[in-house]
Amino acid sequence: MDNFHQPVLLKETITLLNCHPGGIYVDGTTGEGGHALHILKTCPNIRLLIGIDRDEDNIEQTNQRLSPFKDKYFLVKGNFSEIKKIISHLKIEAVDGVILDLGVSSHQLLSPSRGFSFLVDGPLDMRTDRQQKTTAGNVVNEFSKEELKKIFWNYGEEKWSAAIAQRIVKRRRETPITTTLELANLVTNAIPARARPRKIHPATRIFQALRIAVNDELTHLEKCLPEAIDVLTPGGRMAVISFHSLEDRIVKTTFREHSRACICPPRIPQCRCGHIPKLKLLTKKPILPTTEEISQNPRSRSARLRGAEKI
Ligand SMILES: C[S@@+](CC[C@H](N)C(=O)[O-])C[C@H]1O[C@@H](n2cnc3c(N)ncnc32)[C@H](O)[C@@H]1O
């Protein structure tokens, strides 16, 4: 096995996408190129694969990895929430498939300097796009106690959000919190020993919540999905892998809303909305990884794949 990020639900995603010769596909979260490479290998006659990622390092690394397919792909450092603008810059009007595999890649997670991990020491950074100004350090040291509590509760569902926010505010009055291990220890100590989770590191939820907040992940997803649906050609497909219940809810709701024939409020007896469905759902329930995949790649355990087809 190589050092690259192991793509999650790979076979299932490629099957959903149903690539065909001559088609144009967008991988909105190219990462380390796992899904992209598989698309190019299994369907070498596609016209183009457009790969988007916020992270320059991942774009550079993937460029080398995909180089044997040099005329078949084009990589863009950008945000998937700008998918319409990105493809129109390439003078493309519609695409045949879009894939999103949300979150962060292994290289990002394991690089101490990126500051995503509570297991290795590094600066409190967590930006997927390093041109962005706000880092996790800014959030932890500058946001109010109430704001921190809200982030920890909303994005991490952390029961001890208030105690952790309180501990952070108290510490930063003495000295700023600058490293990942400093924050991880502080979080652990803010949770009473008897209440600390046993199966995961006590700081897991807080790091996840901070990452979502720093990168404004849910806002970008909410903006991207309707744009992606718009740019799909009839019969074109979308496949989205999420790792967090809030992400999955956004995907589920957006797909549902765009697949319903009527969006009138339930109290209205006769439809007046004239809504035209744009999507057909391909997955009524999300596709989950098999126990075999989870045992080979524990990171896949919370993955959920949903798919839809443009009508
Ligand atoms: C789970 S990884 C994707 C892994 C990839 N499928 C592979 O097999 O290597 C998620 C990637 O999405 C990128 N990303 C997250 N949010 C993004 C956004 N709003 N726009 C573009 N890229 C984003 C991250 O930088 C990261 O590289």
Beta pairing, strands 24-27 & 48-53 = parallel
Token output for 144:
């109010």
Q: Among 29, 65, 84, 240, which residue has the most ligand 1 atoms within 8 Å of its CB, making it the best to mutate?
A: 29
Pocket of ligand 1 contains residue 53 by CB under 6 Å:
yes
Among protein residues, the one with the nearest Cα to ligand 1's atom 8 is 34
Residue 2 is predicted with a pLDDT of: 58
Q: Among 13, 59, 77, 128, which residue has the most ligand 1 atoms within 8 Å of its CB, making it the best to mutate?
A: 128
CA of 310 to the centre of ligand 1 (A): 23
DSSP state of 266: T
Q: What is the pLDDT along the chain (311 residues), one digit of tens a residue?
A: 357 899 999 999 999 999 999 999 999 999 999 999 999 999 999 999 999 999 999 999 999 999 999 899 999 999 999 999 999 999 999 999 999 999 999 999 999 999 999 999 999 999 999 999 999 999 999 999 999 999 999 999 999 999 999 999 999 999 999 999 999 999 999 999 999 999 999 999 999 999 999 999 999 999 999 999 999 999 999 999 999 999 999 999 999 999 998 888 888 888 888 888 999 999 999 999 999 999 999 999 999 999 999 99
Largest CA distance in the chain: 63
Q: DSSP per residue over 86-111, as a string?
A: HHHHTT---EEEEEEE-S--HHHHH-
Pocket of ligand 1 contains residue 34 by CB under 6 Å:
yes
- Residues contacting residue 220 through CB under 8 Å, at least 6 positions apart: 79, 80, 81
Cβ–Cβ < 8 Å for 207, 216: no
Rounded to whole angstroms, how far apart are CA atoms 137 and 134?
8
Model confidence pLDDT, tens digit, residues 17-68: 999 999 999 999 999 999 999 999 999 999 999 999 999 999 999 999 999 9
CA of 299 to the centre of ligand 1 (A): 15
Closest atom of ligand 1 relative to the 105 alpha carbon: 2
Token output for 139:
């959030």
Q: Among 6, 9, 41, 54, which residue has the most ligand 1 atoms within 8 Å of its CB, making it the best to mutate?
A: 54
Model confidence pLDDT, tens digit, residues 84-112: 999 999 999 999 999 999 999 999 999 99
Q: Among 2, 98, 105, which residue has the most ligand 1 atoms within 8 Å of its CB, making it the best to mutate?
A: 105
Instruction: Please state the pTM of the whole predicted model.
Output: 0.95
CA of 118 to the centre of ligand 1 (A): 20
Closest atom of ligand 1 relative to the 79 alpha carbon: 20
CA of 105 to the centre of ligand 1 (A): 7
